[in-house]
Structure 1
Amino acid sequence: MALFIPRTTTTVSLFLLLATTLFSLLHASEDKGHGSLVLGLTHVRAVSPPRVAAATTDMIEPLRGFRDGYLISLNLGTPPQVIQVYMDTGSDLTWVPCGNISFECMDCDDYRHHKLIAAFSPSYSSSSLRDLCTSPLCADVHSSDNPYDPCAVAGCSISTLVSGGCPRPCPSFSYTYGAGGLVVGSLTRDTLRVHTQPSAATREVASFCFGCVGSTFREPIGIAGFGKGALSLPSQLGFLRKGFSYCFLAFKYVNNPNFTSPLVVGSLAISSKEYFLFTPMLKSPTYPNYYYIGLEGISIGNDTMAIAPSNLRSFDPEGNGGMLIDSGTTYTHLPEPFYSLLLSKIESTIVYTRSNEYERRTGFDLCYETPCSDGSCSDNLPSITFHFLNSVKLSLPKDNCFYAMSAPRGSMVVKCFLFQIMDDGGYGPAGVFGSFQQQNMEVVYDLEKERIGFQPMDCASSAARYGFHQK
């Protein structure tokens, strides 16, 4: 998940597409020193959203924790088919696994035993239509690195190109994500049904545009894009001038279908939230569709703040820098040398024994054997506080930083510091504020006032207020 790299393709085999795309990405990595999180981001121009009627009711949906993210259920088609996809603020396109026969995902062995609901079948929906090449959303999905008009790619005649009336379908597209994932599909329109407030009714959204994807690489589950682009779900539903909020349940509820996190979209998400800690959204000149905030520093316990480098607070002339807030990236990523400085400060405050075994097994840089006896696992691990622009001090819940990676063994449990290095070589965002560190706090995306708010909260209680589960 996270940021994407759109690429255009016509009818070619997935193998050839993957080989070509991965070859170009590898060479881009060699040229620019890209790492595993954000690869080869291209210049993404802002495309004006198509005219959408303003939403008159708010939308509220449950999010289910699953593995490394949070799932939202999409009710697509006539009759509706329920497809679960990841909610992702770091991309625009909404896509679902698609196909009447099969959905193929290469290099997805980790998900072999975690199959979700079957793929969406367009032929079983009476309202399903292929989007046309004249659609502004077709132009959007092909806009990043294709210099040609999508109708020209579709093989339209000169006369229909000039008149703008070509009836051909939107050409197939490919969409590449920052961590190397790739999806190939066609742009499709169908009816989407969402749950509304305050009447708890169902709203039908006709001609919702999404990717119908039959083949992927490292992307086993569909994605609902919540970025600011024309293709995003909030944009198509008419909420782009309002906002949305979520409250992610703690990691212990992951894979438990009985506990879900509340997602609220519309005026309800941003009203009566003035007591929240708000930091301004930064405007990237190169990546305008994503949510950036500025990090001034991080303090460890009661220690003085470790000052963040300037590229975490602002952008360079090429639009690189800033801190991306992304529900589609699991852990917070920080750039060097700031990351190593932070680890050094943390290590100097901890008296527990390092667990080299778990550091090797998990890939995290700091793991410690902490006391755990008589069912109580208390420790003196330091608190972590983020300092964002506008004097926002956000103290993270301790479990959002140090997490037990094993069951108690004897009188000890191993806890690891769940931050990671941002090794993209200075290309794209300088850091990412991941979903794991956002747990047990309500996060508000106030798109009207262009700011992001935080408030520590028991998200289980918040979900119960919406009737998602009983405490």
Structure 2
Amino acid sequence: MAPLSTFDTLIFNLFLFVFLFSIANHSHARQHPKTSDSLVLGLTNARTTIKLPKESSTLNLKLSSQMLDMIEPLREVRDGYLISLNLGSPPQVVQVYMDTGSDLTWVPCGNLSFNCIDCDDYTNNTPMSNYSPSHSSSCVRDSCASQFCIDVHSSDNPYDPCYIAGCSLSTLMKATCSRPCPTFVYTYGEGVVAGTLTRDTLRVHGNTEGVTREIANFDFGCVGSTYREPRGIAGFGKGSLSLPSQLGFLQKGFSHCFLAFKFANNPNISSPLVVGDLAISSKEHLQFTQMLKNPMYPNSYYIGLEGITLGTGSGSMIRVPTNLRDFDSSGNGGMLIDSGTTYTHLPQPFFSQLLAELESVIDHPRATEVEERTGFDLCYRVPCTNNVTNGMKIMDVDDHLLPSITFHFLNNVSLVLPQGNNFYAMNAPRNSTVVKCLLFQSMDDEDYGPAGVFGSFQQQNVEVVYDMQKERIGFQTMDCASSLAFQQLHKP
């Protein structure tokens, strides 16, 4: 498939400018049974946005009848977790963010023609991998006859774009129009992408070294221009365009175990991401909370938060507002669980109440100058030494000097966040102290969208299981790095 012409690019950039101007004032936070069908993937660590998503046809997979247990590594970078997609013939490797908060899988298209607006902070510091459609013999542009074309367009009448492209009403209703699916625009909480819907071969690794599976006609966005979205995304939402849906696993489930931030940018270690039966089998020992059904945003994963406890023992639970477990008639509320948002966000005035409670139980000196520089709300100078005990720096184990935080979800689920998930060292130790800041943030002061977001930083060293069969999400704290030996992940 040829890249966009110069004229098409100019038209798109004009449209994108108009679109961005129109939304400028409306930004919102918005798995080993004997006959198992499973996919074990690998992740890397990545970025922060709050998204509102987009139903479910499953692509036919050209797979052998043998067990479908597959492995890919998720590599951690500083602002999220990356998965490597092997697309095209011959394969091109593109690293994209794993995102449970959206459906569409898209990749940057073209080495020279890809344009990211307002992305200097990313592109100047991070090497990007792009996909070139002209270098793949199996790449085709999707047509207006595809259900995916209807799904990716979000106008009131989904037939509008294809009708404008020249499809007759008769061919639209019969899903027989062969005209190319028109360029789409897909929005996130802080960014926008535009591109063409494309099909190509996706390859994934089997759980036996050297074994690969091919998924023909995998549907994804070939994106040539973006706003504040410098790298592609593998959507893990419930919609038909998502990666699990197209792999045929959406009615089963998936799980992940995010490595701690200290492994960020380490090419030799990856997080386990499992898709299929293996993700949900033998997991009854986990604590499970029910998935909440949002009538307006059915493709997102919502859970209900009842309260938060500080410290151990008999500390009293801080009750949260009811909108963190309920929705209004417009679908606003609930807690979105989102791997594409780095830090957990909580609504006001509850967030300020939590800060006040933390201040009352922490007696270390405040580092207000670091708060001003970083934008984080609570930073403290915590005592530490440079001594080494059993090969480990004391700095790695001094989190007991700060209070633990426990999240209480619906169904009597109490998740004690691993200590490293609350406060994070902003710099190296100096004068026997290290500055640590609370990595929670306040939700934007909006009346729509989720009331809170459970972000990826607070999910570190926690096995999170999305059980789609029983519509529940399970939690279990664990050392994700130690679990890698069992998963036998490939290096990315």
TM-score normalised to structure 2 length? 0.87
The one of 218, 231, 237 aligned to 2:228: 218
**1:38 CA displacement:** 4.8
Q: Is the 8 A contact 1:184 1:213 kept in 2?
A: yes
The one of 56, 73, 85 aligned to 1:62: 73
Secondary structure of the corresponding residue to residue 461 of structure 1:
coil
Match of 2:326 in 1: 314
The one of 462, 478, 484 aligned to 1:441: 462
Is 2:151 aligned against 1:140?
A: yes
Is 2:124 aligned against 1:113?
A: yes
Secondary structure of the corresponding residue to residue 13 of structure 1:
helix
The one of 148, 151, 156 aligned to 2:167: 156
Secondary structure of the corresponding residue to residue 197 of structure 2:
strand
Q: Which amino acid aligns with 1:278?
A: F
Q: Which amino acid aligns with 1:235?
A: S
Secondary structure of the corresponding residue to residue 123 of structure 1:
helix
Aligned equivalents of 2:227, 2:157: Cα separation in 1:
21
Q: Which stretch of the first structure deviates more once superposed, 133-142 or 162-171?
A: 162-171
Aligned equivalents of 1:235, 1:37: Cα separation in 2:
23
Match of 1:298 in 2: 308
Q: Which amino acid aligns with 2:325?
A: R
> Which residues in structure 2 correspond to 1:6-405 (within 5 Å)?
13-28=11-26, 38=50, 44=54, 47-50=55-58, 52=60, 57-99=68-110, 101-157=112-168, 160-161=171-172, 163-178=174-189, 180-197=190-207, 201-302=211-312, 303-375=315-387, 376-377=394-395, 378=398, 379-405=400-426
Q: Is the 8 A contact 2:238 2:250 kept in 1?
A: yes
**1:466 CA displacement:** 2.1
Q: Which amino acid aligns with 1:171?
A: P
**1:114 CA displacement:** 3.4
Q: Is the 8 A contact 1:98 1:119 kept in 2?
A: yes
Structure 2: unaligned runs, 5 residues or longer:
1-7, 31-47, 388-393
- Gap change, CA 1:52 and 1:320, over 3 Å in 2: farther
Aligned equivalents of 1:403, 1:182: Cα separation in 2:
30
**1:50 CA displacement:** 4.2
Secondary structure of the corresponding residue to residue 429 of structure 1:
coil
Secondary structure of the corresponding residue to residue 353 of structure 1:
coil
Aligned equivalents of 1:384, 1:279: Cα separation in 2:
18
- Gap change, CA 1:77 and 1:53, over 3 Å in 2: closer
Q: Which amino acid aligns with 2:85?
A: L
Q: Which amino acid aligns with 2:77?
A: F
Q: What is the aligned residue count?
A: 453
Secondary structure of the corresponding residue to residue 460 of structure 1:
coil
**1:111 CA displacement:** 1.6
Structure 1: unaligned runs, 5 residues or longer:
1-9
Q: Is the 8 A contact 1:443 1:453 kept in 2?
A: yes
Q: Which amino acid aligns with 1:325?
A: I
Q: Which amino acid aligns with 1:256?
A: N
Q: Is the 8 A contact 1:132 1:168 kept in 2?
A: yes
Secondary structure of the corresponding residue to residue 268 of structure 1:
helix
**1:350 CA displacement:** 0.3
Q: Which amino acid aligns with 1:26?
A: A
TM-score normalised to structure 1 length? 0.91
For residues 136-170 of structure 1, the C-alpha deviation after alignment (integer angstroms, 9 at most, x for no partner) is: 00000003555544420322245544654221000
Aligned equivalents of 2:169, 2:100: Cα separation in 1:
39
Q: Is the 8 A contact 2:49 2:188 kept in 1?
A: no
- Gap change, CA 1:229 and 1:461, over 3 Å in 2: same
For residues 205-230 of structure 1, the C-alpha deviation after alignment (integer angstroms, 9 at most, x for no partner) is: 00000000011111111000000000
Identity %: 66
